[in-house]
Chains A and B, each alone.
Chain A
Amino acid sequence: MLKQNLILIAAVAGLAVAPLFIHRDGKAEFSGSDGQAEALITEIRPDYQPWFSPLWEPPSGEIESLLFALQAAVGAGLIGFYFGRRSATPKTPRSPSAENRAG
């Protein structure tokens, strides 16, 4: 299992890094597809005006990336906690008993 997982993780990393090498010429902007869809809306309907705007927007790109990092960190932390608990007690008793809580 460990070996398969390492291969799979390497493949995921490869898929994320390969585009940076493919587009080494610097012409690719790596902009978000959501933003491109927004541009396409404007192209199809130049007169369209959004009728509602976000209640709050991150004041800067830094603060936006802070919140995205926070989102990922909270998620990753929880997953790490989960597998930490499970791998520490490989044979968990059926009922969530006191000994399960002790760690």
Chain B
Amino acid sequence: MHIMEGYLPVSHALGWAALSLPFVAYGARKIIRTLEEKPETKMLLAASGAYVFVLSALKIPSVTGSCSHPTGTGLAATLFGPSVTAVLGTIVLLFQALLLAHGGLTTLGANVFSMAIAGPFIAYGLYRGLTRAGASMAVAVFFAAALGDLATYCVTALQLALAFPDPVSGVFGAAVKFLAVFAPTQAPLAISEGLLTVVVMNLLSRYSADELKALAPATGKA
């Protein structure tokens, strides 16, 4: 889902950055507030950020014969909410843009929007919706993390289609082409991310009950 440095026209690069900035700014304020009100969740916040670090570093083979990486944002989104996740994802994307030439500074806004905002929001919405509908924690977390991961890649495809419409079939035709590149490769990885996030949540419910309770209003389990 990393759009490479310089691969978005200036207007698109600026537009996505302007769209992403308020989410990240709000998320930063929310992190400060969360740490003031619930200092006991500091370590869990760090661990959630670390989960994004690990998962987004792993390029995993897919049944399509290509490789891609999970996002790791579903965990933080279900625990701390999407705006906090926007900050964590931005840190990871900045690290990769500066040290790995993966993604870039000019495309940071667009990449933040797909990986750190759109995916986490969908994950959070699914988690809340499914738990309210009576789904078990494991089922809700699985679908939240898996579909949040897949959504990130679909958003990337749409961002590229908007920037590079097909000369014949337009934005829609380009979207189909970019989705064909990302979605089939990502599907099994999204399942993996969903399963792995359930593993972590299982561990958390066993060892971190107090922190989960402190965060409960944010996770909708009050």
On whether the beta carbons of B185 and A16 are closer than 8 Å, the reply is no
With a CB–CB cut-off of 8 A, which chain B residues contact A54? 5, 97, 101, 104
On whether the beta carbons of B43 and A82 are closer than 8 Å, the reply is yes
With a CB–CB cut-off of 8 A, which chain A residues contact B99? 56, 58, 67
On whether the beta carbons of A31 and B196 are closer than 8 Å, the reply is no
User: Which chain A residue has the least Cβ–Cβ distance from B180?
Assistant: A40
With a CB–CB cut-off of 8 A, which chain A residues contact B56? 71
B47 close to A (CB within 8 Å): yes
Q: A51-102: which have CB < 8 Å to B?
A: 51-58, 64, 67-69, 71-72, 74-79, 82-83, 85-87, 90, 92, 94-96
With a CB–CB cut-off of 8 A, which chain A residues contact B54? 71-72, 75-76, 79
Which of B47, B98, B160, B165 has the largest count of A CB atoms less than 10 A from its CB?
B47
Give Cα distance in the complex from A37 to B153, angstroms: 11
With a CB–CB cut-off of 8 A, which chain B residues contact A96? 39-40
A interface residues (Cβ-Cβ under 8 A, vs B): 1, 4-5, 8-9, 11-12, 15-16, 18-20, 22-23, 27-34, 36-38, 40-41, 44-45, 48, 50-58, 64, 67-69, 71-72, 74-79, 82-83, 85-87, 90, 92, 94-96
With a CB–CB cut-off of 8 A, which chain B residues contact A87? 207
Give Cα distance in the complex from A71 to B44, angstroms: 18
On whether the beta carbons of A19 and B43 are closer than 8 Å, the reply is no
On whether the beta carbons of A33 and B67 are closer than 8 Å, the reply is yes
Give Cα distance in the complex from A92 to B66, angstroms: 44
With a CB–CB cut-off of 8 A, which chain A residues contact B181? 33, 36-37, 40
What are 18 of the A-B contact pairs (CB < 8 Å)? A8-B199, A12-B196, A12-B199, A15-B188, A19-B61, A19-B62, A28-B66, A32-B59, A33-B185, A37-B160, A40-B177, A50-B5, A56-B101, A57-B101, A71-B95, A78-B50, A78-B53, A79-B50
B interface residues (Cβ-Cβ under 8 A, vs A): 1-7, 9-10, 39-40, 43-44, 46-47, 49-68, 92, 95-102, 104-106, 138, 153, 156-157, 160, 164-167, 174, 177-178, 181-182, 185-186, 188-189, 191-192, 195-196, 198-200, 202-203, 205-208, 210
